[in-house]
Structure 1
Amino acid sequence: MAQRLATEFVNARLLLPESQMSKFMQHIQDPRIRYRVRVLESGSREIVLEDESGEEVNLPFDRRRNLFVCELSFRLVNPRLTHMIRRLFVAFRGDGMVRRIYPGFVMLDFYAEGSVRRIIELTPGASRLVFEHRDQVPELEYRFGSTDIEREIENIRMRVDLLLDRRHASLNPEEIERIDKMLRRESRRLFILEA
């Protein structure tokens, strides 16, 4: 497996309601990562995370009414600090792009509301879509709501009822044989649709 050289968070954004700030602070508890919090005059906060190697990242949370908004772009090398930021990003439903840089290629992860929506691999001279989230709920709702098969089953049952009525009323053996043939065809079709 390729060794990651660095991770860049590009135009990353976290929106935290005021009530979630204490939960955010609980998420950054790690014995190998120190943090400092500065509360500014406007109620905004600046959280600085520093790992044991000395690498640090500054998370500026601007207070906007009852929300704390953190917009940032930075590059990290240390895996522990990178992992913590990614966990925070997922837990608090962040948006933005993450560039994972490896020798010879780059992986672009596009996040929306804390979930990866698309992953693209960039190599010199080429790009490849690795993953793309597809919302399958509309398709499932359509299939669930679709009544085409139920209508066809109902139509077959009505045709079978009519054929049975004609069969009981008929005295002609050739017509009865023709009706039986149609009944067999309809019953096969009905069996397929109901299965």
Structure 2
Amino acid sequence: MAQRVATEYVNANLTVPETDMPRLLALCGAQQLRLQVFVLENGNQEVVLEDDAGGESIRLTFERSEGNYRCRLTCRVVQPKLTNVLRKMVSAFKGDAVVNRIYEGFTMVYHYMQGAVIRIAECKGNAVRTVFEYRDTLGRMEAQFQLCSVEEEIGRLKQSVNELLDRRNRAADPGSIREIDERLKYHSRLLFVLEA
């Protein structure tokens, strides 16, 4: 398995409600990092996270605005504990980020939106290969359904009614006829609503 060389956070954005700041600090503390919090003017906060193992540290500046703290971050991290805490912060607080996980000979690029990974791409030299991409299939289907005009829906329903009438004329079983009649009743109500 390839050994990760470093992780780059490119233009990461977090919005943390004031009430959730203690939860963010607890998340950092759970990773066994040295933690310092400085309160700046206007209520802004600067959080310094330091890893004991390598002496690496990062500074996160949270600007206070309308009951939230906003943090914009661009950094390169090598130590696994710092990498993990940043990943957990982006996920837990529904952040947006582009994260480059750099390996020997290639880079994996993760795109986060609202804390979820929406795309993973592998970059090797000039070649870029998509490994994963989130597709909102249900959302696309709903949008497609809403694009259909009422007239097209009426046309489809009329065609369905004609097919049901043909099946009813051929049917001999009383159970099948009852089922077809129920479907015809449903279709006629729907046609009435759409044509109104």
**In which range does the TM-score fall when normalised by the shorter chain?**
0.7 to 0.9
Paired with 2:31 and 2:163, the residues of 1 have a C-alpha distance of: 70
Superposition TM-score, scaled by structure 1 size = 0.75
For the aligned residue pairs, the C-alpha RMSD in angstroms reads 2.6
Paired with 1:129 and 1:161, the residues of 2 have a C-alpha distance of: 51
Aligned to 1:136: 137
Alpha carbons of structure 1 residues 31 and 3: separation in structure 2 relative to 1, 3 Å: closer
Q: Which amino acid aligns with 2:167?
A: V
Paired with 2:2 and 2:31, the residues of 1 have a C-alpha distance of: 28
Contiguous gaps of at least 5 residues in structure 1: 166-195
Q: Which amino acid aligns with 1:91?
A: A
Aligned to 2:16: 16
Cα offset, 1:80, TM superposition: 1.5
Aligned to 1:185: none
Cα offset, 1:142, TM superposition: 6.6
Q: Deviations over 1:122-161 (max 9, x none)?
A: 1013111111111112245479999898765543221233
Paired with 2:115 and 2:50, the residues of 1 have a C-alpha distance of: 23
Paired with 1:40 and 1:66, the residues of 2 have a C-alpha distance of: 16
Paired with 1:108 and 1:58, the residues of 2 have a C-alpha distance of: 23
Aligned to 1:52: 52
Q: Secondary structure at the match of 2:43?
A: coil
Q: Secondary structure at the match of 2:107?
A: strand
Cα offset, 1:18, TM superposition: 1.4
Alpha carbons of structure 1 residues 164 and 113: separation in structure 2 relative to 1, 3 Å: closer
Greater gyration radius: 1
Paired with 2:130 and 2:31, the residues of 1 have a C-alpha distance of: 37
Alpha carbons of structure 1 residues 74 and 159: separation in structure 2 relative to 1, 3 Å: same
Contact between 2:99 and 2:109, CA under 8 Å: does it hold in 1? yes
Alpha carbons of structure 1 residues 137 and 98: separation in structure 2 relative to 1, 3 Å: same
Cα offset, 1:19, TM superposition: 1.7
Aligned to 2:65: 64
Contiguous gaps of at least 5 residues in structure 2: 173-196
Identity %: 39
Q: Secondary structure at the match of 1:29?
A: helix
Paired with 1:22 and 1:134, the residues of 2 have a C-alpha distance of: 34
